Amino acid sequence: MQAFPRTSGLCAVLLAFGLSSAQAAPQMVVVGYGGAGQKAQDVAIFQPFSAADGSKLIQSEYNGEMARIQVMADTGNVDWDVVQIEGPDLLRGCEEGIYEPLDWQKLGHASELIGDAAQECGSAALVWSVAIAYDRARLAQAPTSWADFWDVQKYPGKRGLRKRAVYNLEFALLADGVKVEEVYQVLSTPAGVDRAFAKLSELKPYIQWWDAGAQPAQWLTAGDVVMTSTYSGRIAVAAQQGSPLALVWPGSLYGMDYWAIIKGSRHTEQARRFIAYANQADTQVRYVEQIPYGPTNTQAAARLDPKLASWVPTSPQNLQGALAMNVAFWVDHGEELEQRFNAWATK
């Protein structure tokens, strides 16, 4: 384990909670989405935090299954502590009482964070983007939009999409000609939902569904799909390592993942120290240097190298034509739409 010096920021966090590192619980479990993103978290956050805090941290990974978290909170048999979660799932879970509330006066750094990063039950871990990815070596003409993604005559072959309603309904409407600024207005109507599913049905014979974030880049490299939706950071890392994979930023969808503490965790104080540490500017700069997702600390964003910033979803050039996820929409309608999507996908 790589050792890092104890920082004054972490000392302040420890004092705020009235705890010393010697009192930290030894085996807190932090759960992420695996792959390149979690490897980056290990180098930039997990290992340095453990060294500075004098505590142990165990990693696990999942694909965003809420059912397991719900069971833990309901039964009290909590074997995970801190989990990386998407915005709609965080807000729904907070309303249902399955996450521990956060005291931002003790956590600190709230004033340094971007809007909506500091939530009642969660702290934004990163700003992600889901965009079209393709292999420059395999396509003579680069796709430029979701309309191209749907055009199987111009671009024959399989397409990769995540097996969820979220993201895909937005992309289907963009492919059908809906303007970025009108997507959620249209999707908020029954006719708009029907329109999105009809558009998805056009592409259904050509879709290869992905569950894990590592799959899109693997499929592109293997030639299994001609293009795919993907988390931007995975493709950025591959491109930085010399891969011919590339992204289409216009029409991308961006939002935030959050750190949340599962209700009933036996390591809540250590978990809160972990979240406070993850929010520090130094920590986030290290993370973005490992994988270029957007930092949530504004001081970290200001310190990024321009070349690195070109891969970050929140860079001005990458936000042009991009769509911000409407978290409130998915909190209100996500359950019913995911049920409809699952029924549609199995037909």
pLDDT of amino acid 36 = 87
In what helix (H) or strand (E) does residue 32 lie, and over which residues does it extend?
A: strand 28-32
> How far from 321 is each of 131, 181, 248, 295, CA to CA, in Å?
11, 9, 10, 20
CA terminus-to-terminus distance, the chain = 49
Domain count within the chain: 2
Token pair 């999409």 is found at 161
Q: Whole-prediction pTM value?
A: 0.83
Same-domain status, 239 and 302: no
Same-domain status, 236 and 266: no
Is residue 79 domain-resident?
Answer: yes
Token representation of residue 266: 């036996």
Same-domain status, 281 and 174: no
Same-domain status, 97 and 172: no
Same-domain status, 145 and 105: no
Is residue 209 domain-resident?
Answer: yes
Same-domain status, 325 and 289: no
Helical packing angle, 168-175 and 327-346, nearest 10°: 90
Same-domain status, 96 and 133: no
Q: Is the dihedral of CA 115, 116, 122, 124 positive or negative?
A: negative
Q: What number of CA atoms fall less than 13 Å from residue 43's CA on the CB side? A: 12
Is residue 3 domain-resident?
Answer: no
Residue 176 to residue 198: CA distance in whole angstroms: 10
What residues contact residue 195 under an 8 Å CB cut-off, 6+ apart?
Answer: 172, 173, 176, 186
**CATH code where residue 151 lies:** 3.40.190.10
pLDDT of amino acid 179 = 97
The one-digit pLDDT tens for each residue of the chain (347 residues) are 333 233 334 434 333 333 333 333 358 999 999 988 999 999 999 999 999 999 999 999 998 889 999 999 999 999 999 999 999 999 999 999 999 999 999 998 889 999 899 999 999 999 999 999 999 999 999 999 999 999 999 999 999 999 999 999 999 999 999 999 999 999 999 999 999 999 999 999 999 999 988 899 999 999 999 999 999 998 998 998 899 999 999 999 999 999 999 999 999 999 999 999 999 999 999 999 999 999 999 999 999 998 898 899 988 889 899 999 999 999 999 999 999 999 999 98
Is residue 1 domain-resident?
Answer: no
Is residue 2 domain-resident?
Answer: no
- The residue range of the domain holding 159 is 129-255+315-346
Same-domain status, 324 and 220: yes
